[in-house]
């Protein structure tokens, strides 16, 4: 099991009926991702691909 020391980026997702908003910040607190997404599964998968 990993601890907080292993986390390099923390994602956030605000889910709405029409659109979603995704963000991610790195360990230093710098925003590395900030994008509004359509309310569609394809758009969400494109933002955060598996892997």
pLDDT per residue as tens digits for the range 1-51: 566 677 899 999 888 877 888 899 999 999 999 988 777 777 767 776 665
Residue 27 domain boundaries: 4-45
**In-domain check, residue 31:** yes
pLDDT for the residue 49: 65
Domain count, the chain: 1
**In-domain check, residue 50:** no
pTM comes to: 0.61
**In-domain check, residue 8:** yes
Distance CA 16, CA 25 (A): 21
**In-domain check, residue 51:** no
Structure tokens at 37: 């997404």
> Angle at Cα 35 formed by Cα 48 and Cα 16, nearest 5°?
85
Give residues with Cβ within 8 angstroms of 22, minimum separation 6.
11, 12, 13, 14, 33, 34, 35, 37, 44, 47, 48
């Amino acid at each position: 099991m990993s601890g907080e020391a292993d986390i390099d980026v923390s994602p956030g997702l605000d889910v709405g009926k029409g659109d979603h908003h995704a963000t991610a910040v790195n360990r230093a607190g710098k925003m590395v991702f900030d994008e509004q997404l359509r309310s569609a599964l394809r758009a969400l998968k494109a933002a955060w691909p598996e892997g």
